[in-house]
Structure 1
Amino acid sequence: MTATATSPAPGTAGDTTRPSAVVTGIGVAAPNGLGTEAWWQATLRGESGIGPVTDYDASRYPSRLVGSITGFDAAEHIPGRLLPQTDRVTRLALVAGAEALADAGADPAELAGQDGYGDYSLGVVTSNATGGFGFTHREIRKLWTEGPQKVSVYESFAWFYAVNTGQLSIRHKLRGPSGVLVSEQAGGLDAIGQSRRTLRQGVKLSLTGGMDSSLDPWGLTSHIASGRLSRGTDPATAYLPFDARAAGHVPGEGGAILVLEDATAARARGARVYGEIAGYAATFSPRPGSGRPPGLERAARLALADSGLTPESVDVVFADAAGTPAADEEEATALRSLFGPYGVPVTAPKTLTGRLYGGGAPLDVAGALLALRDGVVPPTAGIGRPVAGHRLDLVRDTPREGPLRTALVLARGHGGFNAAVVVRAAGAS
């Protein structure tokens, strides 16, 4: 679609009196690729990271497919002293965070000593939906079988939702405003939105995004109990959002960490810019049966208004793609209302990874930034019978090339959370 800007309202992202938030670094840990470019190229090739559980016997579980990161040896990436005190999810976050900072060419120690920065101008805001599941379940097992004296002292924090933010802050000496957002799949966009707020309050650089890993036996049991998991046994067809065969999602692990910077500060240090977080909004859907409409469309409209853009400006949508008939219909209805039938290309590359909870939406934002960079929309895998009534222009099976300037990323968290982010290409106006 052709990018068309409207006159920005005061206080919106399009209002030049407010600082712009730009992404200068990306770090990725995903089931189909460890590292940003490895994941991106695998995604464009349609390579899936979904497969059977291999870490334990899951033959009696009703859902036995996961999006697991294979071949990851934390000892190759982080200091040995951190291994006893970190869960797998924190190790993944540390690796992705280090990649993002290196990609941005940002050394926090150097930046803190420069004019205009200082120790409290660099922060961290991440999202996490489940905490350090594997670590805490292992320690609880010790408590039950060996007694409290055998429980690790690190259990006091390794389980906590905020541990990724804390460990990233400590490791890179990011002492500025920090936090954690817990709103399931929507949380990653909420974290990015909160990071953008801190930049408007004077922070120069914020490490943001999300990471989740909860695929141990207790974790998988918890996901199954939600009633939203697919029971399919074929990795190619188990997770089929917007398809007539949709019957739930596959859980995955991983996510993305981004370096978000004040645009002026980024330009001053000569940073390469992937794109701008031009708009953000969050809403909460009413309870089912209330008679009030869901909040996803309103979140998208508010994010577009925040960016100073209209729906006609959007070149691609990275969908939430819940993978259940009712939730897919709800999202398709919102997209038709926003863009009209078949009005904008829609993609869901998470069909290659599973839903990554707090890490899923930041991975979509990373995908949106790389799509804008390369002029290519990544595919949605496996959709052979798209629901005709949805009337969506789904990008299926193979990438679609073309000029791209603006992307809309949508996410929903269980319990009514909705979030939307507008991503604009570097140099777009």
Structure 2
Amino acid sequence: MTERQRRAVVTGIGVVAPSGVGANQHWRTVLAGRRRTGPITLFDASGYPTRLGGEVTDFDPTRYTDNRALVQTDRWTHLGFAATQLALADAGLPEQAPEPYDWAVTLASSSGGNLFGQRELQRLWSSPARTVGAYQSIAWFYAASVGQISIRHQAKGPSGVLVAESAGGLDSLAHAVRTIRRGASVVLAGATECPLSPYALACQARSGLLSEATDPERAYRPFDVDACGYLPAEGGAVFVVEEYAHAAARGARSYGEVAGWGATHDAAHTSSTSAGDPHQYARAMRLALSRADVEPAEVDLVVPDALGVPRYDRAEATALRAVFGADAPPVSTHKALTGRAHQGGSALDVATALLAYRHDTLPASAGPQTVAEGCELDFLRQRRRPRSRVALVCARGFDGFNSALVLRGVAPAGEDRR
């Protein structure tokens, strides 16, 4: 079998996000349109302009790993432990690879172990001992989750971490397909994030892109006349990406196939006035469609980046119109419900698209209530059944990253379609 003949399908989804722990809870939140953002409680954010965010509430990391691993790692990795365990269980795979060199881990990361690093550095500069814990050197590191998950699940195949801000959640799945084509049977892909610490929030606030609204219902409104920035969030999704024949041989169900992808770069830093390059963003979408051998008219769902900053929203709408013309497919975004979890947020968008096909339902968009000028798109106002089961998921990362992913969903087989 040649590389091109080795297809990659998603057989497991693990979600740990403000929308819920587990894919089913996330899906129920999306269908109901329930907003899960609110006051930040992981630390005292009262002195910051932005005091709202999306947190994974009632999360108990001890359910997913032992105390020894917990003290060595950050909450961001704890979320990754949970999402991976849920994804493997959903796929019907064991927690440890039976053939370690056939399994790989390819995750994305933006900010690393913020809470752990914050605690240790505060101890360094505030205590007489002037020391940090032994695990400071590894827990904050942006590749820590990949390393810890590969050890925990004995995945010894070619593994790595992708850093492209929000775009990396899609890039990780593209890289998983390449890894499958090069011989791996199973790849754990996706991303989780936890950018909710004093240092992390200060870094994000400096961009000028955070919402400073105090009402959670009005704080994050992509493409809306009242758009005023995004709310930070933690969490994300991890996927079991499996070689098609390997999945079929064990009778595994599939959510769908990663059919194509595209990544481009603006070659420009994010500034206080920039909005990303619509031309390069559109080029990433066209690359993804071309590699999937999909015509724009075949797409029946677009899940956009939806930053919630007016100039970025207009640029994204411009890019989508450039690709699809006047007959743009329905657009649906749910980041207003959860906040923007950077790499984890784009991975969560992939989960939403695949779950939509599993449940035979394209979910209504969580806004905009009143479309802003220049953002005129076909926002999905009511849920509907899919037409072609082809979705385009899009994401942009600060400093010029653009990514797009084409998914081919699988029709449900006698399952509950509510």
TM-score range, shorter chain: over 0.9
Of 51-60 and 163-172, more deviation after overlay is shown by 51-60
Unaligned runs of 5+ in 2: 413-418
Note the 1:53-72 alignment, pairs <5 A: 53-72=40-59
* Separation of aligned partners in 2, 1:291 and 1:388: 18
Residue among 250, 257, 264 paired with 1:269:
250
Cα deviation for residue 404 of structure 1 reads 4.6
| Deviations, residues 87-124 of structure 1 (Å, cap 9, x unaligned) | 00000000000000110011264641xxxxxx211000
With over 3 angstroms needed to count, the CA separation of the structure-2 counterparts of 1:292 and 1:354, relative to structure 1, is: closer
Long gaps (5+) in structure 1:
1-14, 113-118
Q: Does residue 233 of structure 1 match 2:220?
A: no
1:410 equivalent in structure 2: 394
Preserved contact between residue 341 and residue 392 of structure 1 (Cα < 8 Å): no
Q: Superposition pairs for residues 28-427 of structure 1, below 5 Å?
A: 28-107=15-94, 109=96, 111-112=98-99, 119-146=100-127, 150-287=131-268, 294-341=279-326, 343-396=328-381, 398-426=382-410
Structure 1, 215-224 or 194-203: larger mean CA deviation: 215-224
The answer as to whether partners of 1:349 and 1:378 remain within 8 angstroms in 2 is no
**Quick check: 185-194 or 149-158, which moved more?**
149-158
One-letter code of the match for 1:301?
A: R
Conservation of the 8 A alpha-carbon contact between 2:305 and 2:396 = yes
1:20 aligns with 7
Give secondary structure in 1 for the equivalent of 2:41: coil
Q: Which moved more, 1:387-396 or 1:242-251?
A: 387-396
Contact 2:211/2:219, CA 8 A, preserved across alignment: yes
Task: Return the alpha-carbon distance in structure 2 between the equivalents of residues 300 and 204 of structure 1.
Answer: 28
Structure 1 pair 107–215 and aligned structure 2 pair: CA distance change class (3 A): same
Asked whether the 8 Å contact 1:169–1:175 carries over to 2, the reply is yes
Which amino acid is the alignment partner of residue 282 of structure 1?
A
CA deviation string 1:199-252 (max 9, x = no partner)? 111011000000100212222111111111011111111111111111111110
Q: Conserved in 2, the CA contact under 8 Å of 1:286 and 1:293?
A: no
Rounded Cα–Cα distance in structure 2 between residues aligned with 1:247 and 1:306: 35
TM-score (norm 1): 0.91
The whole-number CA distance in structure 1 between the counterparts of 2:390 and 2:56 is 30
1:304 Cα deviation from its structure 2 partner: 0.5
| Aligned counterparts of 2:275 and 2:141: Cα–Cα separation in 1 | 34
Report the residue type matching 2:38 in the other structure.
G
Deviation at 1:196, TM superposition (A): 0.9
| Larger displacement relative to structure 2 (281-290 or 187-196) | 281-290
Say if 2:264 and 2:280, in contact at 8 Å, map to a contact too.
Answer: yes
Quickly say closer, same or farther: Cα 1:323–1:25, change in 2 above 3 A.
same
> Using the alignment, how far apart are the partners of 1:44 and 1:280 within structure 2?
27
Tell me which moved more, 317-326 or 148-157.
Answer: 148-157
Displacement of 1:57 after TM fit? 3.2
Alpha-carbon distance between aligned partners in 2 of 1:91 and 1:319, rounded to the nearest angstrom: 27
Q: CA deviation at 1:43?
A: 1.2
| Distance (whole Å) between structure 1 residues aligned to residue 172 and residue 197 of structure 2 | 25
- Please say if residues 128 and 358 of structure 1, whose CA atoms lie closer than 8 Å, have aligned partners that are also in contact: yes
Once the two structures are TM-superposed, the CA of residue 148 in structure 1 deviates from its matched residue by: 6.0
Other-structure match for 1:4: none
Whole-angstrom CA distance in 1 between matches of 2:341 and 2:234 = 5
Mapped partners of 1:274, 1:62: distance in 2:
41
**Separation in 2, partners of 1:399, 1:234:** 27
Rounded Cα–Cα distance in structure 2 between residues aligned with 1:198 and 1:351: 33
Decide whether aligned partners of structure 1 residues 76 and 329 sit closer, same or farther in structure 2, where only a CA change above 3 A counts: same
Q: CA RMSD in A?
A: 2.1
Aligned-partner SS, 1:164: helix
One-letter amino acid matched to 1:235? P
Q: Which moved more, 1:194-203 or 1:418-427?
A: 418-427
Separation of aligned partners in 2, 1:379 and 1:260: 27
Residues 372 and 404 in structure 1, CA contact (< 8 A), matched pair in contact too: no
- Between the aligned partners of 2:154 and 2:134, the Cα distance in structure 1 is 23
Query: Residues 423 and 352 (structure 1 numbering): CA distance in 2 closer, same or farther, change over 3 Å?
Result: same
Q: Say if 1:108 and 1:174, in contact at 8 Å, map to a contact too.
A: no
| Aligned amino acid, residue 35 of structure 1 | G
Counterpart for residue 415 of structure 2: none
Q: 3-state DSSP class of the match of 1:264? A: helix
Which letter does structure 2 place at the counterpart of 1:224? A
**Aligned match of 1:3:** none
2:410 maps to amino acid: A
CA 1:394 to 1:382, structure 2 compared with 1: closer, same or farther past 3 Å?
A: closer
CA 328–286 in structure 1, closer or farther in 2 if over 3 Å, else same: same
